[in-house]
């Protein structure tokens, strides 16, 4: 059963520390999305990649957040330095999108981040 | 710009009762529409999707949704709710693939409580 895998599932860190979250998309999918979910803001799109190229990162705070896709099987979201307001659940989703294809996104189980 | 409104933040129903969750969208062209469900501590699972054709779509777990273009709505229904349906439900709208916009825009969600 193909699924999006995210690690770690939970992360507790102190303010100022670097945090790296990883995502393994479903094999064959060409697009990866990063979302952040909080009670106040709901589900927000941070960034997404198609064929490993960043297409849109307008939802991401540029000064501390960075997203990369070093290869087709790994996407990373990094926060440096982390702040308490970054505490949230971060989701990765993958999909097969493009001309003639359906834009269906499949979500991982998320990384719950707590910054103390 | 595309947007989604889920007017009901929280709905409580009794087990065995029927359910309808409302979703209104704003989109300039033909939308792709989705319903996702999120159980506590889990990621979002796709319930059903509408791309074109028959406006009544069937999904998993006995759910269905009806696309009404004149009302810009895509309401989710289930004839008889089970206790295991208690979760948060998200409606989302996306663009047709073929453009450069692969984003999904999500509503704020409706939390469903099921009473025994």
pLDDT at B1: 75
Count the helices and strands in chain B (H runs, E runs): 0, 12
Average of per-residue pLDDT across B32-38: 95
pLDDT at A97: 80
Task: Please provide the average confidence, as pLDDT, over all residues in chain B.
Answer: 91
3-state secondary structure of A40: coil
More confident: B97 or B32: B32
A62: confidence class by pLDDT, cuts 50, 70, 90 = confident
Q: What contacts 24+ positions apart, CB below 8 Å, involve B54-62?
A: B59/B35, B61/B37, B61/B85
Q: What contacts 24+ positions apart, CB below 8 Å, involve B7-12?
A: B8/B110, B9/B108, B9/B109, B9/B110, B9/B111, B10/B110, B10/B111, B10/B113, B11/B110, B11/B111, B11/B112, B11/B113, B12/B112, B12/B113, B12/B114, B12/B115
Nearest residue on chain A to B52, judged by CA atoms? Answer: A102
Q: Which residues of B touch A31 (CB under 8 A)?
A: 102
Summarised one tens digit per residue, pLDDT across range B61-105 is: 999 999 999 999 999 999 999 999 999 999 999 876 555 567 889
Q: Which residues of A touch B103 (CB under 8 A)?
A: 45, 48, 56
Answer whether B44 sits within 8 Å of A56, measured CB to CB: no
pLDDT at B97: 53
A25 interface with B at CB cutoff 8 Å = no
Q: Which residues of B touch A51 (CB under 8 A)?
A: none
Above pLDDT 70, what percent of chain B? Answer: 95
Residues A111 and A6 sit within 8 Å (Cβ to Cβ): yes
pLDDT at B37: 97
**How many other CB atoms sit within 10 Å of the CB of residue B1?**
6
pLDDT at B30 over 80: no
B33: confidence class by pLDDT, cuts 50, 70, 90 = very high
pLDDT at B95: 73
d(CA A23, CA A16): 23
């Amino acid at each position: 059963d193909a699924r999006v895998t995210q690690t770690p599932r939970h992360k507790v860190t102190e303010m100022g520390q670097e945090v790296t979250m990883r995502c393994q998309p479903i094999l064959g999918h060409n697009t990866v999305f990063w979302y952040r979910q909080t009670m106040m803001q709901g589900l927000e799109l941070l960034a997404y990649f198609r064929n490993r190229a960043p297409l849109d990162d307008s939802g991401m705070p540029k000064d501390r957040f960075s997203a990369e896709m070093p290869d087709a099987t790994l996407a990373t979201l990094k926060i440096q330095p982390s702040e308490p307001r970054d505490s949230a659940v971060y989701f990765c989703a993958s999909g097969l999108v493009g001309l003639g294809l359906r834009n269906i996104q499949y979500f991982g189980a998320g990384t719950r981040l707590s910054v103390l | 710009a595309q947007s989604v409104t889920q007017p009901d933040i929280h709905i409580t129903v009794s087990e065995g009762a029927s359910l309808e969750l409302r979703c209104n969208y704003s989109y300039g062209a033909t939308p792709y529409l989705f319903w996702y469900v999120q159980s506590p501590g889990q990621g979002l699972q796709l319930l059903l999707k509408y791309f074109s054709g028959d406006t009544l779509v069937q999904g998993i777990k006995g759910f269905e949704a009806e696309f009404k273009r004149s009302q810009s709505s895509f309401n989710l229904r289930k004839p008889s709710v089970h206790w295991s349906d208690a979760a948060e439900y998200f409606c989302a709208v996306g663009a047709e693939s073929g453009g450069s916009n692969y984003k999904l825009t999500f509503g704020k969600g409706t939390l469903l409580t099921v009473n025994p």
